[in-house]
């Protein structure tokens, strides 16, 4: 007997409907899986056999051929276990074929028939809806994630035995239909683990630069000696980032689901990602790829922040790989067995020491030779530096500022992150209203036409004069010129000004301390 069951695959970040065909014919007992399966899919034969038997059903004792179509698409992971098992039960007449019509199955089977968490449920659920499939059956631990997609009915089951009971009408289907948790879409304004700006003594100019970076999505590089507070300042950034919109939250959740970094039962992610990989990370770990084409740290930071501490310590290949995503806000990875395009709309926040010992230009003696300082600073190429909007020096803070005074009193705390965040949210709201729903989501993403319309046409005369002088004195490239205009636009948004004044341009120019 021959039957068909709907399954799903993940290609890049997108779901793809898969037709699981099961044919049972006479011959010696043997199960063969074709359709370009990987090792995990090929091993489904043993998992499915044990799961069916432990669920109280009968495994076919004839020749079984399972085809995963389309055959040209590589099948990876254990999410095909459930549709293969259901297909076998239908083909042997243990489940009525009408019970699987217009239904997509996704889930990994344990040997006892229990259903386990799988990656990419959100992407597959969206693909099922787009393919006009009305119902999806998933493990209970993944039902909340699947229910984030509107327009498709989610059936949550704990085991293969549970689904058999539903398919044979021993248990009503209505009991297994998942009801979304209304708290799943509640807004989470900031991470409770984020540090607060008021905990950082001094460094007010760096806090201001981080506020500008958060408000406009601008890339930033902090340069200063060890112990100056660069990492602490960067860790305060999540506390001032605006919340994700619903569309952005779905994007971020989908990426996390495909990457396998969401926990079972995870809900919609409402906080902007903040990724901080170690400088020993491989090129594939940073940009994505690998043998199975997984998203890298750049994509995992989509709609959020990628923090690279000790920037010159990253490999040259990894740093140069940043060039395309910083410019195009997406990254395409091509391999012999396929190519995928991952989103990469990130804000890059980076930090570095001025030299190998870290004391060049500070009040401490530097032990590095001039050539060592030059080589260290030249590890970051000009094209990469040209894609950074804000350059900020972070000097050491005097220890006396961190201690109590002689009478036991402490210095007053600085401005809390919650107050800064209100200004950032207001600035982002102005950008959204100005750019429209189909426009860029931040000033940093403005196109050349957008820069002309929203920046150059809004320059006051004195501001235009100042930026002309800055172009000559700093030898700005065309890209650098546009980035100064974008930063000026963000500073004006923070001030609530529709026009860009000379004060806004002056602050933007002071962040541009390098040529280009």
pLDDT tens sequence across 276-318: 999 999 998 999 887 778 899 999 999 999 999 999 999 999 9
Same domain, 280 and 365: yes
185 falls within a domain: no
Nearest alpha-carbon partner for 222 in 394, 95, 99 = 394
Mean predicted confidence (pLDDT) in 154-175: 94
Q: What is the CATH number of the domain that holds 491?
A: 1.10.8
Lowest mean pLDDT among 10-19, 297-306, 355-364, 426-435: 355-364
Q: The domain that contains 327 carries what CATH number?
A: 3.40.50.300
Q: Are residues 221 and 361 in the same domain?
A: yes
In the chain, % helix, strand, coil (3-state, to 5) comes to: 40, 20, 40
Do 312 and 449 fall into the same domain?
no
Q: Does any domain span residue 11?
A: yes
Cα Rg for the chain, rounded, in angstroms?
A: 28
Domain boundary among 180, 210, 240: 180
Asked if residue 416 belongs to a domain, the reply is no
Expressed as residue numbers, the domain containing 130 is 2-180
Q: What is the pLDDT of residue 185?
A: 45
Distance CA 395, CA 363 (A): 9
Report the distance separating Cα 22 and Cα 13, nearest Å. 27
Q: Do 29 and 158 have their domain in common?
A: yes
Q: Model confidence over 331-366: pLDDT tens digits?
A: 988 877 678 899 999 999 999 999 999 889 888 889
Confidence of residue 181 (pLDDT cuts 50, 70, 90): low
Measured distance CA(483)–CA(392) in Å, rounded:
15
Strands 14-25 and 63-69: antiparallel
Mean pLDDT of 421-428: 96
Is 515 within the bounds of a domain? no
Residues 153 and 201 in one domain: no
Judge contact between 59 and 53, C-beta under 8 A.
yes
The confidence band for 404, taking pLDDT boundaries of 50, 70 and 90, is low
Among 122, 146, 180, residue at a domain's last position:
180
- Residues 275 and 302: beta-carbon distance below 8 Å: no
Do 146 and 7 belong to one domain? yes
Residue 132 scores a pLDDT above 50:
yes
Counted domains in the chain: 3
pTM (2 decimals)? 0.89
- Reference 236, options 428, 401, 414; nearest CA is 414
Q: How would you write 52-120 as a 3-class SS string?
A: HHHCCCCCCCCEEEEEEECCCCCECCCCCHHHHHHHHHHHCCCCCHHHHCCEEECCEECCCCEEECCCC
DSSP one-letter code for 126: H
Q: Report the pLDDT averaged over residues 365-373.
A: 92
The answer to whether residues 395 and 252 belong to one domain is yes
Closest CA to 149 of 240, 16, 250: 250
Same structural domain, 331 and 232: yes
In a domain, 415, yes or no: no
Nearest residue to 178 (alpha-carbon basis) of 257, 78, 265? 265
CATH number of the domain that 22 lies in? 3.30.230.10
Indicate whether 99 belongs to any domain.
yes
The reply to whether 383 and 449 lie within a common domain is no
For residues 207 and 414, the answer to whether their CB atoms sit within 8 Å is yes
Amino acid 361: pLDDT: 83
Q: What is the DSSP letter of 312?
A: G
Residue 411 has what pLDDT? Answer: 63
d(CA 181, CA 147): 9
395 and 288 together in one domain: yes
- Residue-level pLDDT at 505: 95
Q: State residue 335's pLDDT score.
A: 76
Same domain, residue pair 328 and 242: yes
**Contact (CB, 8 A) for 68 and 100:** no
Q: Are residues 91 and 147 in the same domain?
A: yes
Last residue in a domain, options 180, 214, 240: 180
pLDDT of residue 266: 64
Residue 192 has what pLDDT? 54
| Domain-embedded: residue 516 | no
Has residue 288 been placed in a domain? yes
């Amino acid at each position: 007997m021959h039957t068909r069951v709907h399954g799903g695959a993940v290609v890049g970040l997108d779901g793809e409907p898969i037709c699981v065909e099961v044919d049972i014919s006479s011959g010696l007992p043997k199960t063969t899986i074709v359709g370009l399966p990987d090792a995990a899919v090929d091993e489904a034969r043993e998992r499915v056999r044990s799961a069916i038997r432990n669920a109280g059903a009968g495994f076919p004792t004839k020749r079984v051929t399972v085809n995963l179509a389309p055959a040209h698409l590589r099948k990876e992971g254990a999410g095909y276990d459930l549709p293969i098992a259901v297909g076998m039960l239908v083909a042997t007449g243990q489940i009525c074929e009408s019970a699987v019509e217009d239904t997509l199955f996704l889930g990994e089977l344990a040997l006892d028939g229990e259903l386990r968490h799988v990656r990419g449920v959100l992407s597959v659920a969206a693909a099922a809806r787009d393919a006009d499939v009305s119902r999806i059956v998933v493990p209970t631990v993944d039902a909340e994630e699947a229910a984030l997609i509107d327009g498709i009915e989610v059936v949550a089951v704990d085991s293969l035995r549970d689904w058999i009971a539903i398919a044979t009408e021993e248990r009503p289907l209505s009991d297994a239909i998942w009801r979304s948790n209304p708290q799943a879409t509640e807004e989470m304004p900031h991470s409770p683990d984020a540090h607060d700006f008021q905990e950082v003594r001094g460094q007010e100019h760096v806090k201001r630069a981080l506020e500008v970076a958060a408000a406009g999505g601008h890339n930033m590089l902090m340069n200063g000696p060890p112990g100056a507070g660069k990492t602490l300042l960067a860790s305060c950034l999540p506390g001032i980032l605006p919340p994700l919109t619903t569309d952005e939250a779905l994007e971020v959740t989908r990426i996390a689901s495909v990457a396998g970094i969401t926990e079972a039962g995870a809900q919609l992610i409402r906080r902007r990602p903040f990724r901080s990989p170690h400088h020993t990370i491989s090129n594939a770990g940073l940009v994505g790829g690998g043998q199975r084409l997984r998203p890298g740290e750049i994509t995992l930071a989509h709609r959020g922040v990628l923090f690279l501490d000790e920037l010159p310590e990253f490999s040259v290949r990894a740093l140069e790989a940043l060039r395309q995503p910083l410019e195009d806000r997406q990254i395409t990875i091509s391999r012999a067995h396929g190519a995928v395009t991952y989103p990469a709309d990130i804000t890059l926040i980076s930090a570095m020491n001025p030299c190998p010992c870290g004391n060049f230009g500070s009040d401490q003696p530097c032990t590095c030779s001039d050539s060592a300082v030059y080589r260290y600073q030249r590890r970051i190429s000009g094209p990469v530096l040209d894609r950074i909007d804000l350059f900020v020096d972070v000097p050491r803070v005097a220890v006396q500022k961190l201690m109590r005074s002689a009478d036991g009193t402490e210095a007053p705390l600085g401005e809390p992150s919650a107050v800064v965040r209100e200004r950032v949210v207001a600035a982002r709201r102005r950008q959204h209203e100005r750019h429209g729903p189909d426009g860029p989501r931040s000033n940093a993403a403005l196109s050349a036409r957008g820069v002309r319309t929203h920046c150059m046409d809004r320059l006051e005369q004195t501001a235009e004069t100042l930026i002309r002088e800055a172009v000559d004195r700093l030898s700005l490239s065309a890209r650098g010129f546009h980035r100064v205009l974008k930063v000026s636009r963000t500073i004006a948004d923070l001030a609530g000004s529709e026009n860009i004044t000379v004060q806004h341009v002056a602050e933007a120019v002071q962040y541009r301390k390098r040529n280009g």
